[in-house]
Amino acid sequence: MATVAVRAPAKSAAGTPPRTRRRKWTGWAFAAPFVLLFLVFSALPVLASLVMSVTDLRSTDLRHPLAVNFTGLDNYIRLFSDELFLRSALNTVVFVVVGVPLTMVIALAAANGLNSGLIRFRALFRVGFYLPVVTSIVAVAVVWRFLLDPEVGLVDNLLRLIGVDGPNWLADTSTAMPSLIVMTAWRNFGTMMVIFLAALQSIPADLYEAATLDGAGRWQQFRNVTLPLLRPTLLFGAVYTGIGYLQVFEEPFVMTQGGPLSSTLSVSYHIYNQFGFGNYGYASAASYVLFVAIVALSVLQFRLLRERD
Amino acid sequence: MRKRRTVAIVAVAAALTLTAGCGRDAGSGQEQAKAVDAGKATGDITVWAMGTEGEKLAAFAKDFTAENPDAKVNVTAVPWDAAHQKIASAIAAKQTPDVSMIGTTWQGEFAKTGALDPTPPDLIDSAAFFPGAWATTQVNGTSFGVPWYVETRALYYRTDIAAKAGVTSPPKTWEELTAMTKAMQAKGGAKWGIYLQPGKTGSWQTVLPFAWSNGASIADDKGYTFDSPQMTEALQYYQSFFTQKVSPTDLPNGQLEPDFGKGAIGAFISGPWEAGLVDEQGAKGKYAVAPLPTKQSSTSFIGGSNVAVFKDAKNRDGAWKFIQWLSKPDVQVKWYQTVTDLPAVQSAWQDPALTSDPILTTFGEQLKTAKAPPSFPTWEQVAASLDTEVEKVVNGKETPAAAVKTVQSQAQSIGTGA
């Protein structure tokens, strides 16, 4: 970034008239506050953490951060033999692979309902569905912990009515992760619903009229008119939700602390723990692995969902 | 494209210059403490303290400034959650206060940064403190601070349920503890005989006393030594409470005190703060606190907080004088009366304020032999690994012998950080 800033005017000095040159300087002057803040508070820390990830920096080196050993890719190699990291990676993959489609389907269903069916109380439903998004995760966690409580919880009491002995959702290794996924989908689908609703409303009504004249049923209309026209919005939704879910942290942090038996430990949570233990180099390496995974997932989604000619 | 490549080259070059020529120094020898001048304290002394201590210390320090009229004590209250981060940032920026409260398990890490000032032995007498508490200030044989207050763990049990189960005196051995808790369940009407923490953060504080009482040593000067028959046996004993369904594996948070109050749980192991909590839940007068049952010894865990002076302190002499004042026996007793922090200075326990309470006497007795975990900077990480394995053992997913081996191999790969 720094070189771009310095080199651009230097090159223009050779071949462009003074007025254009001055205009360029004015442009950079306007951009300067952002560029400066970006360099100091974004680019520099990112670069620093990249450097940290190839050293054995620990919290005990705080006073002399430069007096550390260069360890090359050692941190990265250790990561992939770290049982807990692999466990957290698997948990995160499950969370994303199940959670993202689930959230999108719920959001699309809700948006469709609001667009065609629930016309009368649309505003009320829209607010209701969106409310979890703006509610504090701490409040949400308290309520959900009550819901999922094995003794007094609503879920297990409803199950008891039909004669099923419900599990202790958050304390059982097989149900803790599904519980978190459902809760996260419920908490997050509102945002996607609002975006999908806007996209649905921008589809021209005459397309549906034409489809009806051609004898298409509701399902066929949805498959052949709605879905293709929603494709860019779906792509946005998948990328946006995917990035968020790969970095899942709050839900396991407040609900299960990564337990039971590390079954809800996510990569972000593992990184948080490693920073807490003072392993700054190691935690930075893990952050970069997560970053690469996010880029890879986004690229994959762009490939799968991009416009086809 | 070319510009982007230039940026990449600059970045790599910057990274190389940062790392090249750096490298760790060979380990330096022991640090020598400097003397503190005689006379009264003068100047501003800035102090960071957490929790209740942070709220109450400013008013409490008025007695100190009355004795030292030229000194001024400025206390900043820091929330516990943010304290570790705040101290670490202050050390990195070399903008530390003069004095800070330091959690006992942080001592190794902060001392290793080189930010803490060695304790001047001519000012502070190490023999005045509980030996376990003094050990928490020592890193590599040098002391970097002074114990301020302590806490330890003992056995709480319902005397009425025990009586119903035919037990009239507190359990003195491991066998008696098993027998009592089982009888509480079978004859005393308790749903659970005892609550022992089933893994998760901090469970090592309940597990290690059993290991220590069985003669296990988890570390020597060179590193961790978890893999011992004594440690395995202790973990087997711990596990037996869960395999025989005497202790619950998934008690929800905050359920212990009400369950103990209504007699659903017969006993548990915890610290002095728990007395007030179970009193509120209706257990008042129905329980007693006993020392941990003996195997080879009755050795509990010692926790609490230390106070330390930073090397970057602007008023080092004043800071040490303030700490010396805090560790005077009469000041320790007064501090106990202010915030109920248990004195780290042994002679303070002879004050009637402490001897009159039978529960406190038990804790005071337990403190004399209580141990602290090693002061290696990596202890918290190793402890987390121990917590994870304890959870597996308690749930029957792993044998105690395998768990001990796993903890040892993880502890070895983590290292001591020294």
Count of domains observed in chain B: 2
Q: Are residues B192 and B327 in the same domain?
A: no
The whole-number mean pLDDT for each consecutive block of 10 residues of chain A, a chain of 309 residues, reads 43 62 90 94 92 91 86 92 93 96 94 80 85 90 88 88 87 92 94 93 90 89 90 92 94 89 94 92 95 93 76
Task: Specify the pLDDT at position B13.
Answer: 46
pLDDT digits (tens, 9 = 90+) for B183-239: 999 999 999 999 999 998 899 999 999 999 999 999 998 899 999 999 999 999 999
Is the pLDDT at B12 greater than 60, yes or no?
no
Q: Quick check: A279 contacting B, CB < 8 Å?
A: yes
Q: Are residues B296 and B324 in the same domain?
A: no
Residue B202 included in any domain: yes
Q: Quick check: B93 contacting A, CB < 8 Å?
A: no
Q: Are residues B158 and B141 in the same domain?
A: no
The pair of structure tokens assigned to B282 is 């209706």
Q: Are residues B280 and B166 in the same domain?
A: yes
Q: Are residues B362 and B272 in the same domain?
A: no
Q: Quick check: B201 contacting A, CB < 8 Å?
A: yes
Task: Specify the pLDDT at position B10.
Answer: 45
Among residues A112, A108, A279, A106, the alpha carbon closest in space to that of A183 is found at: A106
Task: Specify the pLDDT at position A10.
Answer: 47
Residue B99 included in any domain: yes
Dist. CA B49–CA B61, nearest whole Å: 12
Q: Are residues B323 and B382 in the same domain?
A: no
Task: Specify the pLDDT at position B131.
Answer: 94
pLDDT digits (tens, 9 = 90+) for B250-295: 888 788 999 999 999 999 999 999 999 999 999 999 999 999 999 9
Task: Specify the pLDDT at position A2.
Answer: 40
Q: Quick check: B200 contacting A, CB < 8 Å?
A: yes
Task: Specify the pLDDT at position B260.
Answer: 96
Q: Are residues B342 and B399 in the same domain?
A: no
Residue B1 included in any domain: no
pLDDT digits (tens, 9 = 90+) for B13-62: 444 444 444 567 655 556 778 888 888 889 999 999 998 899 999 999 99
Interchain proximity B23–A2, CB inside 8 Å: no
Which CATH number characterizes residue B207's domain? 3.40.190.10
DSSP H or E segment with residue B49: strand B43-50
Interchain proximity B200–A259, CB inside 8 Å: yes
**Chain A residues lying within 8 Å of B113, measured CB to CB:** 59-63
User: CA of B403 to nearest chain A CA: how many angstroms apart?
Assistant: 13
Q: Is the preceding omega at residue A204 within 30 degrees of 0, hence cis? A: no
Q: Are residues B381 and B323 in the same domain?
A: no
- What is chain B's mean pLDDT, rounded? 90
Distances (CA, A) of A167 to A122, A144, B200, B280, B323: 36, 15, 20, 31, 53
Task: Specify the pLDDT at position A94.
Answer: 96
Q: Are residues B236 and B272 in the same domain?
A: yes
CA atoms within a 13 Å half-sphere pointing along the CA-CB vector of B276: 3
Dist. CA B140–CA B222, nearest whole Å: 10
**Amino acid letter for position B127:** A
Task: Specify the pLDDT at position B6.
Answer: 46
DSSP secondary structure string for all residues of B312-356: T-SSHHHHHHHHHHHTSHHHHHHHHHHH-PEESBGGGGGSHHHHT
Q: Quick check: A3 contacting B, CB < 8 Å?
A: yes
Search chain A and give the residue with CA nearest B394: A261
Q: Are residues B269 and B200 in the same domain?
A: yes
Interchain proximity B113–A60, CB inside 8 Å: yes
Q: Are residues B107 and B250 in the same domain?
A: no
Q: Quick check: A297 contacting B, CB < 8 Å?
A: no
Q: Quick check: A167 contacting B, CB < 8 Å?
A: no
| φ, ψ at B147 (rounded to 5°) | -65, 135
Among residues B183, B81, B170, B91, the alpha carbon closest in space to that of B359 is found at: B170
Residue B16 included in any domain: no
Residue B339 included in any domain: yes
Dist. CA B113–CA A61, nearest whole Å: 6
**Reduced to 3 states, what is the DSSP secondary structure of residue B225?**
coil
Q: Quick check: A259 contacting B, CB < 8 Å?
A: yes
Q: Are residues B194 and B211 in the same domain?
A: yes
Query: What pTM was computed for the model?
Result: 0.83
Per-domain residue ranges of chain A: 1-47, 83-305
Lowest mean pLDDT among A16-25, B71-80, B382-391: A16-25
**Residue B217 is part of which domain span?**
154-301+375-414
Residue B23 included in any domain: no
For B115, the closest of A7, A63, A261 (CB atoms) is: A63
Tally A–B CB contacts below 8 A.
95
Task: Specify the pLDDT at position B33.
Answer: 80
Label residue B371 exposed, middle or buried (CB < 10 Å: 0-12, 13-18, 19+). Answer: buried
Interchain proximity B11–A47, CB inside 8 Å: yes
Q: Which of residues 33-72 of B touch A (CB under 8 A)?
A: none
Residue B8 included in any domain: no
Residue B383 included in any domain: yes
Domain boundary among B329, B350, B367: B367
Task: Specify the pLDDT at position A120.
Answer: 75
What ipTM was assigned to the predicted interfaces of this complex?
0.80
Q: How would residue B8 be classed by pLDDT, with cut points 50, 70 and 90?
A: very low
Q: Quick check: B12 contacting A, CB < 8 Å?
A: no
Homologous superfamily of the A83-305 domain (CATH): MetI-like (1.10.3720.10)
